[in-house]
Amino acid sequence: MQFEYTDSVSPGTWRSFLDGRENVYFFHTPEWAKIMKEAFNYRVATRLYHTPEGDILIPMMESRRFGFSFYQAVPHGYGGIFSSSDASDRLLLSVIASMAGGRHLSLDIALPPGATLQADGLPRIRKTLSQWNYTHIVRLRGPGGAVEEKYNRHVRRDIRVAERNHVETVQKDSLMQFRQYYALYERRAREWGHRIPPYSLDFYDLLHRYGRPYVQVRLAEMHGAVIGGLVTFEYMDTMFTWSNAAPEASRSFRPIHLLLHDALQSAQEKGYSLVNLGGSGNLQGVQKFKESFGATRVDLETYRIESRLALLAQIGRKPLTSTKQ
């Protein structure tokens, strides 16, 4: 089944599908798409479909290889399907299945926490599995009281360690602060054995250029020296902790504990529904760290929709079993 759509969506129309909804992240915005385009040379391929059950927006990016195109919803974050009305699951599945065909080989879609597709038994829509198909979330609404009540005793102790050592959080909106964070991130990446950090300085410059005010950088300072940093994405009623860094020499002063505590308090004060601490792969120590702040594990659903040509190309080869978002 084919549907009428446009892939030239104005930022205003795009945001109108996000406004007032729950479970919306900065990854869904035109600003994130612009960052992906300039940082990684994707084409913005977001589509606005016109269907009998109402309009449907699907934020996504396109990459090309050997004359074929591949869609992602969205790279390095969560995708989503946003309807102007309560469109049926059957219609939504028909729409996304129609995207792969001809020279458009596949669509990878990573849904935000709590979102699901009822796609069991459909031959071209396949759930993919990996060590990154989960996240950790601190929920802020309801009878939970102050966010500090969710912490275990070790976190409370480590926050006091930072405070006794006169560690303070500093939050500004300057390019210098973004670059100060990047210096910490680069140093910490080398300590982890990376010759080149996963994300470049240019990427963080783009976060500053296009991401503000949704992208926030907090730095931890001790006696005027920067010893830790935390980057968060804040949009609608969600906060996502994108990255943190503290060199090995400063970790005993617990700057990350203090920074995350500050971010959680800020999210509570702003009325956010949740703070998403992200996935941790197979790193059990990182998982326990997040759970010590009261976070609970939430599974994520990721899917690959493939064209018939892509399916034929896999005959005789080991099938693809996972994607990492």
What are the boundaries of each domain within the chain?
4-128+301-313, 136-299
For residue 212, the one-letter residue type is: R
Query: What architecture is the 4-128+301-313 domain classified under in CATH?
Result: 3-Layer(aba) Sandwich (3.40)
Closest CA to 30 of 53, 51, 7, 9: 9
Q: In angstroms, how far is CA 89 from the centroid of its own chain?
A: 24
Question: Is there a shared CATH topology between the 4-128+301-313 domain and the 136-299 domain?
Answer: yes
pLDDT tier at 314 (50, 70, 90 boundaries)? Answer: low
Question: Which CATH number is 136-299 given?
Answer: 3.40.630.30
User: Residue 207 contacts by C-beta under 8 Å, 6 or more apart in sequence?
Assistant: 35, 178, 215, 231
User: Distance between CA atoms of 73 and 50, rounded to whole angstroms?
Assistant: 19
Asked if residue 323 has pLDDT above 60, the reply is no
The one-character DSSP state at 314 is: T
Burial 96-110 (b: 16+ CB within 10 A, else e): bbbbbbeebbbbbbb
Asked if residue 119 has pLDDT above 90, the reply is no
pLDDT tier at 319 (50, 70, 90 boundaries)? Answer: very low
Q: Model's pTM, two decimal places?
A: 0.92
Tell me the Cα Rg of the chain.
Answer: 21
pLDDT tens digits for range 212-230: 999 999 999 999 999 999 9
User: Distance between CA atoms of 69 and 71, rounded to whole angstroms?
Assistant: 7
